[in-house]
Amino acid sequence: MDANVDSTRTAGQQAAAQDAQAAPELAAPQTKPAKKAVPDAANFRLLEEACASYLDAEGMEKAERAYRFAADFHRDQRRRSGEPYINHPVEVALILSKDLHMDEDTVCAALLHDTVEDTPATLEQLTDLFGQTVAELVDGVTKLTSIKVTSMDEKQAWNLRKMFLAMSRDIRVVIIKLADRLHNMRTLAALPRERPGRNLSFCLVHYPVLLGEKNSGASSLTNLDIHDIARISRSYGMGPFYAVTPLEDQLRVLEDILRHWTCGPGGKGNPDRARALELVRPAASLDEAVARLGAHAGAKPRLVASSAVWPAHKRAPAPLTPAQVRDWCRDGPVLLCLGTAQGLAPEVLEHCEGQLRPLRFLGYNHLSVRSAAAILADRILGDYC
C-alpha cells in the first residue's frame, strides 16, 4: 500500500494492522477493488450503452480512455449554455455510435475532436495514447475549421475544398464534422441572438423614393408594412425600426396606429403585437432617423441601402453581402434603408456606405418591401448563417 496512505492512519488503525500481521488467520478478507467513478458527463451512460451494443471489450476500453482524456482536458470549459463542455463531444460520439455504429477509432476521434484545437493537448499525445489513426482523424477535423475567411462566398468555397480533400483522405473526417455540426444545430437555443441583431435597424423610407424612371417624391405609408417589419424586427432581436415620411398627415396616421397597439385596446388584446410595434420610431427625414439611432446606440450608425437592381455603372463598387453587413453589426449600429414605391432615390444612395446586392439576380424581382425585409433579416442574422 502507498506510504502516504499509511501515514494517514490513526493509532488504532495501525495497531489493528499490526495484530493482523501477527495473526494472519484473523485478518479481514481482502475486498474487491472499488469500481471506477462514473464519468460526470450527463450523457456518458447513453454512450456506454450504444457502444456496448456492437463494440468488443477492447473497443469499449479504448473509448472510455478517450472520454477520460477529453474530460480531463475540457474540465474547466463550459458551453455557452453553461453546461460542462465535455457534454458536446460525448453527444457527437453518441450520434456516431447509436445512429451509425461507427468503428472505435471514429468514436474516439469524436470524443477528442476539440482537444487539440481548444486545449493544450497535442497530436503527439493522441498518437501515443490512441494510435495514429485516431490522431489523423482529429487532425483532419481540426483543419476543417481552422482557416479564416473574409466573406461568405470565400467561406463556402473553402468549405467545399476542405471537404473534398478530407473525403479523399478519410471519409470519417467529414462524418465526424457533420455530427459535430448537427449537435451544434440542436443546441442553437442556448446561443444569444441579441448580438449582432440589436445593432441592426430597419429604416423604411417613404421620401425621397423613385416614382418613375426619372421622378422622385413621397409614397404613402401602409399599415401592413409597419406591422410586418416591426414583427420582423422583434423576431430577430433587432434595434428600433424607423419609418421616415415628411408628410404630416402620414405621421399622424402612424402615431394613431402606434397608440392603438401600444397603449390602447389593440395592445391589450394582442400583447405580442404591442411588443413588436414598441420598436417603431416615426421620423420626418432620413437625417432625423440617423440622429435618433446615433443617440440611442451611442455611436453614429453606418448606412446600408437595399435595392432590387444591380448598379447601373460597371465601375460601381461591388455590392455588399449579408455576411459583410453582419460583420459591421458586430462593430456598431447599422441602419438598413428600405425603399418604398420603386426604390430609394439617388440622394439616399449617396448617403449610404454600401448597397446590398439584390435578393434575386435573374428574372422577375418585385417583392413587397416587407417580404424583402424578412429575407434580408434572415440572411444577415439567421440562425444557420
- Catalytic residue numbers, as ranges: 117-118
User: Within 10 A of 52 (CB to CB), how many other CB atoms are there?
Assistant: 14
Nearest to 140 by CA among 188, 178, 193, 98: 178
Which residue carries 423613385 as its cell? 210
The set of cell numbers assigned to 313 is 455603372
- The whole-angstrom separation of Cα 211 and Cα 380 is 28
| Amino acid in the structure at residue 17 | A
| 308 neighbors 366 (Cβ within 8 angstroms) | yes
Can you say how many angstroms the Cα of residue 160 is from the centroid of all Cα atoms in its chain? 20
Strands 209-210 and 200-205: unpaired
| 202 neighbors 241 (Cβ within 8 angstroms) | yes
The set of cell numbers assigned to 89 is 463531444
**Which residues have CB under 8 Å from 210's CB, separation 6+?**
216, 339, 341, 342, 343, 344, 345
The helix or strand, by DSSP H or E, that contains position 280, with its residue range, turns out to be strand 280-283
Check residue 228 and report its DSSP letter. Answer: H
Nearest to 336 by CA among 309, 369, 297, 306: 306
Q: Cα separations (Å) of 3 from 6, 19, 36, 89, 107?
A: 5, 19, 22, 38, 39
Strand partners, 334: 200, 302
User: Within 10 A of 208 (CB to CB), how many other CB atoms are there?
Assistant: 21
User: Within 10 A of 320 (CB to CB), how many other CB atoms are there?
Assistant: 20
